[in-house]
Each structure stands twice: as C-alpha cells, then as structure tokens.
C-alpha cells in the first residue's frame, strides 16, 4: 500500500507525456503569461485589502505586512520558477508534488488547490459585484434588495445576481478559446497597471506625513496578523504556472513570468499602501472601496469614478486568472486518473478543458450568488500557504535526488530559501482562526475518501 500511494511520475516521464506536442495548443507568450500572473496578483488586494488591513490591523505599517507576506510568496515564487522550467505542464504545485513526493501527497495538494482557486473566483466575483453596485448607486440606479450581495447571517434572503453573472461570463470566455481570453486579459491588465500607477502618482500630491503617525498603532502583532490577511493578495502568481502546458516556450518564459509578475505586483502594493495611508488617516479606510473613499476625501470625485471603473476592470482579470488555474488543476487530476477521465475532455473545436471550466463557472456562480464574502474567503489562505510549503520542501529533495536534471532556472541558496519559505508560511498560518483549520481539515478528509475510493484504483501511474 505504501508503495502504491507514494508512486510518482518522474520528471522525464512528465516531460515526455505532456511536453511539446500535447493536446493543449501552445498559444501563450511571455507577456501573456506575465499578464495572467499580474491578473491573479493585482485586484481585490490592492483595491480593498490595503485599506481594510490598514484600518483594522496594521495602520500605515500595512506596507510591512505586504513585505512580510512577500517574503513567503517570494521564496515560493523562486521554487515555482525552478519547477516550472523543469516540468512545463498543467497542474502547478500538484504536478510538482507528483514528481517529487508521490501520488497521495500530490492528490492532497491538487484537491486543496481545486478548492482554493474555486473559492477565490467566488470571493473576487462578490468584490466585483460590490464595485459595480457602487457605481450604479452613484448613477442613481438601485438594485432590488433580493438582487444584492448576501449579508452575513442572512443566507437565503437574496441572490447576488451580478456576482453570479460575471462568474458565468468568465467561464464562457475561457471555454471559447484560451488565446482569446488571454488577449482580453492582457488588455485589462494594461488598464489596471495604468490605473494603479495613476493612483500612486496623483495621490502622492495629497500625502500628509502626519497621517503616518503612529506608524504601527497595533504593534508588531498587528503587522503579522495583517500579513496573514494580505497574503491573499500576493499568491496569484502561481496561476500562470497552471497554464505552462499552453506556453509557446515554457522552459524559458514561465520562470521569467513568475518573477516578473510578483516583482511588479509587490512594488505596486507597497506604493499603494504608502500613498493611501498618507492621503487619509488609516483608521478611516475600513470601507468596501478605500481607494475611491480616499480620493473623495481629498476632493477628487473624478478620480474616484475613474478608480472605481479601473477596479472593476482589474478584478475581472483576477477572475480570469483563477478560473483558468482551477480548470487546469481539475483537468490535470482527471488526466492522471485520480478523478474520472470525463473531466479531462477537451472541446472538439476550441481545444479547451470546457467541462471543468463550465462546471467551475456554475459552482462559483452559486457560491458567489448565495453566500456572504466572509464565509467563502475564510478557507482561501490556509490551503494556498500549505501548497507553497510543499513546493518549498520539494526543491531541496529533488536537488538531492536528481541533480543531473536540466534546470532553466535555479533557486539561489536553495536550502535557505526553502527554509525561509516554510518558516514564513508557518508564521502566517499560525495567525488564522481555528474555525478555518476545522473547515480545511474537513475538506481534506473528503479528499482522502475520494482518493482511496477512486483515485488509488484508477491512477494512470498504477
């Protein structure tokens, strides 16, 4: 039994099975891959979490929270970059775990990521809906109470029609053709980057240094707790590694795209945190749209409208990135026999994993439409941090086991970077509430049952 659950697919075998010439068309270049990563990184975090965490946990020191979260994310990004150059196939951390740790650990990681990515889509859809509703209300258009976002404790009283609708629309776009969706996403990312740069440039003229005092009102513990929350904003780079099998030159472009997307995102997050907390007192930023609030407060209503529109565009690209990632994880699990092969079917015309994409679209639409954002978001970070730790641990193991494998990118000071990644991830997990752990373990228990009931007997590796 032990040999069966820890059987693995070697890196050369994975390269042979799913390398160049595979069923997924290779249509994504360096910019499109980087745009997918930036699309997953810059969205709800920069437009919402920056202000909320500053107001409730870290104060102006929210910039330090981003840097701390960036340490964990950066260490993992280096490890992802090395793996993505060696194993340029769909599946991300799931596939990397399969190659190094074996089938059962890989299944746990894949099952975990499937939940996390799907939940991120639902959370972001609700955030997208909130910005749209704010603009509609500013224009005098009021939705009926039954069509607005569900409030905590009021499940069943309303259906967030806008959130459900955007989830289905993004799923439809990704089903038609990956290249079409990627071009659409790249256009949105350009708009988003311009908008964030504009916020930083214009907002800098309204900074009052007095707003930065006290810099750390909640102490070091507040900074750490804030990092556990804003980590939601800095793990999106791994979405692009799930699309490695659709990259034109994955061994060269995927590692570059990982590092480029995270570097750009962290720089913009820190700039936004500094400017936003300098424009208004951080205690006032606990609002659904803190950036728009800050520009309204300093007498710039035109900028407020522009930023709201940019936020809607930016959050759309996050939906695209995570929906694409979730569908590729599901596709990889089914292709390897751990889930029924029906889920690995490709569209006869568009050559996309349309079944998993459409099912995820429906599932995320139901979650986004029927449940409050808080109840959905609680599980996101713990699963992603867990996957990051697995990837960090796997790098030194594979270095020792197969040093001869060609690597287009090598993690510098690999053991130290892996230790930093695992240690900082554990620090973040320790600050999550116990109820999150309980729900996460319940999902994992379901995954264990599915593996032993189906995956163990149907695995292609077996």
Q: What CATH number has the domain bearing residue 290?
A: 1.20.1740.10
pLDDT in tens, 312-346: 877 777 787 788 878 888 888 888 889 998 887 78
Q: Please give the pLDDT value at position 143.
A: 81
Half-sphere exposure of 77 (CA within 13 A, CB side): 26
Q: Which two tokens stand for residue 162?
A: 């806008």
Q: Count Cβ atoms within 10 A of the Cβ of residue 165 and give its class: 0-12 exposed, 13-18 middle, 19 or more buried.
A: middle
pLDDT of 243 higher than 70:
no
The length of the chain, given as a count of residues: 462
Q: Has residue 9 been placed in a domain?
A: no
Domain that holds residue 331: 22-458
Structure tokens belonging to residue 414: 């690999």
Question: What is the tally of structural domains in the chain?
Answer: 1
Residue 11 lies in a domain: no
Is residue 92 assigned to a domain? yes
Q: What is the pLDDT of residue 6?
A: 83
Residue 64: the pLDDT is 92
Residues 419-441 pLDDT 10s: 888 887 787 777 677 877 888 88
CA distance 274 to 295: 14
Exposure of 23 by Cβ count < 10 A (0-12 exposed, 13-18 middle, 19+ buried)? exposed
Residue 28 pairs in a beta bridge with 247
C-alpha triplet 43, 49, 53: angle, nearest 5°: 165
End-to-end CA distance of the chain: 12
Query: Quick check: is 184 in a domain?
Result: yes
pLDDT averaged over every residue in the chain: 80
Please name the residue that has the structure tokens 């995570």: 322
User: What is the tens place of the pLDDT at every residue in 272-323?
Assistant: 889 989 999 988 887 767 887 888 888 887 777 777 777 787 777 778 778 8
Task: Give the tokens for residue 448.
Answer: 């264990």
User: Does 10 map to a domain?
Assistant: no
Residue 304 is assigned to a structural domain of this protein:
yes
Residue 315 lies in a domain: yes
- Residue 326 · residue 118 · CB < 8 Å: yes
pLDDT of residue 362: 92
Q: Is residue 424 within 8 Å of residue 72, measured between CB atoms?
A: yes
Question: Is 37 part of a structural domain of the chain?
Answer: yes
């Amino acid at each position: 039994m032990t040999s069966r659950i820890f059987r693995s697919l070697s890196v050369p075998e994975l390269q042979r099975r799913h390398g160049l010439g595979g069923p997924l068309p290779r249509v994504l270049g360096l910019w499109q891959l980087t745009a997918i990563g930036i699309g997953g990184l810059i969205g709800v975090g920069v437009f919402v979490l920056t202000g909320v965490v500053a107001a409730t946990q870290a104060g102006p020191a929210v910039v330090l929270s981003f840097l701390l979260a960036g340490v964990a994310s950066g260490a993992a990004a280096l490890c992802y970059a090395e793996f993505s150059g060696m194993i340029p196939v769909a599946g991300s951390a799931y596939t990397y775990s399969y190659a190094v740790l074996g089938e059962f650990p890989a299944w746990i990681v894949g099952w975990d990521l499937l939940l996390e990515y799907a939940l991120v889509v639902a959370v972001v859809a609700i955030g997208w809906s909130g910005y749209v509703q704010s603009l509609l209300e500013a224009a005098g258009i009021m939705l009926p109470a039954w069509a607005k976002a569900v409030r905590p404790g009021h499940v069943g009283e309303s259906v967030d029609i806008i959130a459900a609708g955007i989830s289905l629309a993004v799923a439809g776009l990704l089903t038609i053709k990956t290249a079409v969706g990627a071009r659409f996403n790249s256009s949105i990312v350009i708009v988003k980057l311009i908008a964030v740069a504009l916020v930083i440039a214009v907002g800098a003229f309204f900074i009052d240094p007095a707003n930065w005092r006290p810099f750390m009102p909640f102490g070091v513990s507040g900074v750490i707790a804030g990092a556990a929350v804003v980590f939601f904003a800095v793990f999106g780079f791994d979405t692009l590694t799930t699309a490695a099998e659709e990259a034109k030159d994955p061994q060269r472009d995927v590692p570059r795209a990982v590092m480029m997307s995270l570097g750009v995102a962290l720089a913009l997050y820190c700039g936004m945190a500094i400017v936003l907390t300098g424009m208004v007192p951080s205690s006032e930023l606990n609002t659904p749209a803190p950036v728009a609030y800050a520009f309204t407060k300093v007498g710039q209503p035109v900028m407020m409208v522009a930023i709201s529109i940019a936020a809607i565009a930016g959050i759309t690209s996050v939906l695209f990135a995570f929906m694409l990632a979730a569908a590729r994880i599901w596709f990889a699990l089914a292709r390897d026999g751990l889930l029924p092969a029906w889920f690995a079917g490709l569209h006869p015309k568009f050559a996309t994993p349309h079944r998993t994409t459409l099912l995820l679209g429906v599932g995320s639409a139901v979650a986004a439409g029927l449940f409050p954002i808080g109840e959905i978001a609680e599980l996101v970070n713990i699963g992603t941090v867990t996957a990051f730790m697995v990837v960090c641990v796997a790098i030194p193991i594979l270095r020792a086991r197969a040093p001869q494998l060609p690597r287009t990118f090598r993690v510098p000071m690999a053991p130290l970077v892996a230790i930093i990644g695992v240690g900082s991830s554990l620090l973040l997990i320790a600050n999550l509430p116990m109820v999150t752990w309980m729900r996460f373990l319940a999902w994992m228990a379901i995954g264990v049952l599915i593996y032993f009931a189906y995956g163990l007997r149907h695995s292609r590796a077996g």
